Amino acid sequence: MRIGVLTSGGDAPGMNAALRAVVRVAIYEGHDVVGIRNGFSGIFDKDFKAMDLSSVADIIHKGGTILGTSRSEEMRTEEGILRARRILKEEGIEHLIVIGGDGSMKGALALSDVGQSVITLPATIDNDLGYQEASIGFYTAVETILDAVGKVRDTSSALRRANIIEVMGRECGDLALYAGIAGGAESVIIPEVGLDFEGVKNKILAGKKRGKRHHIILLTEEQVPAYGLAKDLEEATGVETRVTILGYIQRGGIPTGKDRINASRLGAEAVSLCGDEKRSMALGFSEGRIQSFDLKEALAVEKSFDRALYDILDKISI
């Protein structure tokens, strides 16, 4: 059997570990495995690489993706999808394993609709895929944020300041919420709840009264302009407020052990599902174990919001 594999969309730490598992398990089981460079774009460019055991040597601990990735515009057109399917067929790729987030899953679904067998593995730091609990890269990004929170807290305490730390996540507040809980943030501002200006202000004022020397506010990107919010909070509380925008450092770095283990398990499982049948499948951790979902159904599951976790943060951050 011939299996194609690509990484797509925003890179996430652990993509390499997933790729390594796919390649190694495929070879172990006697299949041919073809790496497609730069995401779906590599299909159009016919940028294929026959993978052997050593093509994935020494990568389990590396961030980024050795295959490269992209957000392919061509995959958004009907013509592009048909062309991609035709090329994959010419290359004899029976199953395509796609490692990426929701945009990548949509690309995979479009290919599946025109006859390609596809299996997707969830990899995104945002953890915004509703059908599963822990996408590859999410917990590594949380650790990266925690490292920054610790450092910002040091300087915040030294100068008795408030600090807004803006994190990624798009429409999903998981990065801010999980890092907020683990990092002891005073407030998180996430899309699922929105900005409660009075609440954030009152936390700072209460902390100030108790002699607290730091106030850490984690803000999901694209909610409110961080610098404007800092100015408003400073005016309302009299506490100097600074901004740190973490940006792309959240996407890189050494994947945590847990991300590497999850990625390895997902990669191995994907290969084991490649058989005679056409697949249209998304894999992911749900209720603590790997489960397979119909790809279309998985994409339709709305991400649920862990209100209880948010409430805990509110209570323990007084």
| Active centre residues (catalytic) | 126
Instruction: Locate 106 and state its tokens.
Output: 């949509």
**DSSP labels for the chain?**
-EEEEEE-SS--TTHHHHHHHHHHHHHHTT-EEEEETTTTHHHHTT-EEE--GGGGTT-TT-SS-TT-----SGGGSHHHHHHHHHHHHHTT--EEEEEE-HHHHHHHHHHHHTT-EEEEEEB-TT---TT-S--BTHHHHHHHHHHHHHHHHHHHHHHTEEEEEEE--TT--HHHHHHHHHHT-SEEE-TTT---HHHHHHHHHHHHHTT--EEEEEEETTSS-HHHHHHHHHHHH---EEEEE-GGGGG-SPPPHHHHHHHHHHHHHHHHT-SSS--EEEEEEETTEEEEEEHHHHHHSPPP--HHHHHHHHHHT-
Min. distance of Cβ 10 from ligand F6P in angstroms? 3
Of the candidate residues 101, 107, 207, 267, the single one contacting ligand F6P (CB under 6 A):
101
Binding to ligand F6P (CB under 6 A) within 200-229 occurs at 221
Binding to ligand F6P (CB under 6 A) within 245-264 occurs at 251
Binding to ligand F6P (CB under 6 A) within 134-193 occurs at 168-170
Of the candidate residues 124, 127, 140, 156, the single one contacting ligand F6P (CB under 6 A):
124
Residue 94 or 221 with smaller CB distance to ligand F6P: 221
Residue 102 or 269 with smaller CB distance to ligand F6P: 102
Min. distance of Cβ 75 from ligand F6P in angstroms? 15
Determine the interface stretch with ligand F6P among 91-99, 122-130, 237-245, 283-291 (rule: CB under 6 A): 122-130
Min. distance of Cβ 209 from ligand F6P in angstroms? 36
68 interacts with ligand F6P by CB under 6 A: no
8 A C-beta contact, residue 313 and residue 305: no
Residue 126 or 143 with smaller CB distance to ligand F6P: 126
Close Cβ partners of 116 (under 8 Å, ≥ 6 residues apart) = 84, 85, 88, 89, 96
Min. distance of Cβ 25 from ligand F6P in angstroms? 27
Residue 137 or 267 with smaller CB distance to ligand F6P: 137
8 A C-beta contact, residue 29 and residue 121: no
Residue 74 or 91 with smaller CB distance to ligand F6P: 74
Of the candidate residues 3, 4, 8, 10, the single one contacting ligand F6P (CB under 6 A):
10
Comparing C-alpha atoms, which of 223, 285, 239, 263 is closest to residue 22? 263
Binding to ligand F6P (CB under 6 A) within 102-121 occurs at none
126 interacts with ligand F6P by CB under 6 A: yes
Min. distance of Cβ 64 from ligand F6P in angstroms? 12
Min. distance of Cβ 201 from ligand F6P in angstroms? 27
Residue 197 or 305 with smaller CB distance to ligand F6P: 305
125 interacts with ligand F6P by CB under 6 A: yes
Determine the interface stretch with ligand F6P among 124-132, 194-202, 209-217, 235-243 (rule: CB under 6 A): 124-132
Min. distance of Cβ 222 from ligand F6P in angstroms? 7
8 A C-beta contact, residue 178 and residue 144: no
8 A C-beta contact, residue 66 and residue 60: no
The site for ligand F6P (CB under 6 A) is made up of: 10, 101, 124-126, 168-170, 221, 251
